[in-house]
Structure 1
Amino acid sequence: MKSKEEFVHSVFESIAPKYDLMNNVLSFRQHKYWRRFTMKKMNVQEGQTAIDLCCGTCDWTISLAQKSKTGPIVGLDFSQHMLDYGAIKVNELNLQKQITLVQGNAMSLPYEDNSFDFATIGFGLRNVPDLQQVIREMQRVVKPGGKIVCLELSKPTWEPFKSLYYFYFQKVLPLLGKLIVKRYEQYKWLPESLIQFPDHKQLAEIFRVQGLTEVEAIPLTGGIAALHVGVKAK
């Protein structure tokens, strides 16, 4: 039987070609709004640096680079197939001198302490074997006063929206995955991964337990996603 890490790797290697399309389906096209909101909240300044974990096909990595303009940005993912699709976007925008794409493990980042102004993870924290270890690594590589930022699917809290969303997520989404990208089991697994994942209040508490300060937890679109921001103590 595959470990979670091996299974998740196989999932994302297989869905890479249609990952962007399925993100639109998964989030009702809201993921672009969520990223814009997050970027506004982060207020990245020219020259600042960032590492974007589980960067996938690099949409957020590219946004960080465009805001920073001159600061080095790292996009890290364990799926080379995802990075290959991301590299096409990076090259089309002529950002290859600013963005470095790295195949690596979010649980053990190949960077020195206090290296970046931001560490971000978008729609990846629920997929890692140990989310607290990933948060510790994000905190380690960020400079004192730097920000750890997580944008992730979450759990709606109010009815009837909650019941409607779970029906869509658990019943309809896997069928759409089968129809659009010929992948049923992979998209059946995605809602299962969310069941075990902490809600936005629980994740905020995990941020605090890990020593992060000024922690914010902001539900988005009725709670189907949430933005978490924490600051590394100076």
Structure 2
Amino acid sequence: MTEFAHDTVVPYKDGEGSKKQQVAAMFNDIAFKYDFLNRFLSAGIDMRWRKKAIQQIAGLHPKNILDVATGTADVAIMASGILKPDKITGIDISDGMLEIGRQKVEKAGLKGIIELLNGDSETINFKDNSFDAVTVAFGVRNFQHLEKGLSEILRVLKPGGKLVVLEFSKPKTPGVKSFYDLYMKVITPNVGKLFSKNRNAYKYLDESIQKFPEGKNFTQILDNLGYLNTYCKPLSLGICSIYCGTK
């Protein structure tokens, strides 16, 4: 398996433990403010991005969906409303995020449809060919081994099933890029510190985005792993991108 630059980016440079352990600890720490900060820092655009990602699998009419790095279950809940599947399983390595997700699922009256489990993208605890579709929103940057996680997802997808990845990317337009760099390097970490008391989490966000293999580099990784019909759709002047591939 290839190691990518972002695989080695960790939230706590002087901390102990693997990237996976540090990421779980970081999300446990910010879970109580995660949804608020997402909406606040993106001015609510993140929900539109999620909706556009989910629409990439609408034509499949998936009955059984896996949401990897489900976090607080935003995508799982939205996908349930848009796609009306029989079952959505969300997995995440952060118990703190899952706890908030379960409260949201219960409040939405979706306990019979959405199940949230502690689970790791690199060892997905389901049989081959289990899911019609797999979604990952803002989670692939946090994989400890990118190719291993994407290979596991391919394994559990049914033939004809589709992966949809929603991930931050770097805008290329000069004026937009300058504002984006200022926002990510100065504003985001300081707002994160103000509301969640954890500046590291939002510094890590920028550092992992900077080193992530985006655009054609990411679709090439999917191609190399055996995904078919891969494509990339930039959103909001390239601040975010949707990546898709089929088994």
TM-score, scaled relative to structure 2: 0.90
Q: Tell me which of 16, 20, 41 is aligned to 1:5.
A: 20
- Deviation track 1:61-88 (CA, whole Å, cap 9, x = no partner) reads 1122223435111010011110110011
1:23 and 1:117 map into 2 onto residues whose CA distance is 28
Q: Which residue of 2 aligns with 1:21?
A: 36
The Cα of 1:103 is off from its aligned counterpart by: 0.3
CA RMSD for the aligned pairs? 1.4
1:110 paired to 2:135: no
The answer for unaligned runs of 5 or more in structure 2 is 1-15
* CA displacement at 1:46 relative to structure 2: 5.4
Indicate the SS of the match to 1:197.
coil
SS in 1 for 2:174: coil
Give the equivalent residue in structure 2 for 1:150.
165
Tell me the SS of whatever aligns to 2:110.
Answer: coil
Q: Which has the higher contact order (CA 8 A, sep 6+)?
A: 2
Aligned-partner SS, 2:17? coil
Structure 1 position 166, deviation (Å): 1.1
TM-score (norm 1): 0.95
Match of 2:224 among 196, 205, 209: 209
State the one-letter code of the partner of 2:86.
Answer: G
> After superposition, what is the alpha-carbon deviation per residue over 1:166-203, rounded to whole angstroms, capped at 9, x for unaligned?
11101111101111222112211111111211121211
From 56, 76, 81, the counterpart of 1:66:
81
Distance 2:82 2:43 in 1: 26
Q: Are 2:65 and 2:85, in contact at CA under 8 Å, matched by a contact in 1?
A: no
- Looking at structure 1, the residues matched to 146 and 41 of structure 2 have their Cα atoms a distance apart, in angstroms, of 22
Q: 1:136 aligns with which of 138, 151, 163?
A: 151
Match of 2:108 among 93, 107, 112: 93
Q: 208, 219, 235: which one pairs with 1:220?
A: 235
Q: Which structure 2 residues correspond to residues 19-58 of structure 1 after superposition, within 5 A?
A: 19-43=34-58, 48-58=63-73
- Assess, with a 3 A threshold, how the Cα gap between structure 1 residues 25 and 201 changes in structure 2: closer, same or farther: farther
Q: How many residues align?
A: 232
Decide whether the 8 Å contact of 2:169 with 2:241 is kept in 1: yes
Letter in 2 for 1:42: I
Verify the 8 A CA contact 2:62 2:132 in the aligned structure 1: no
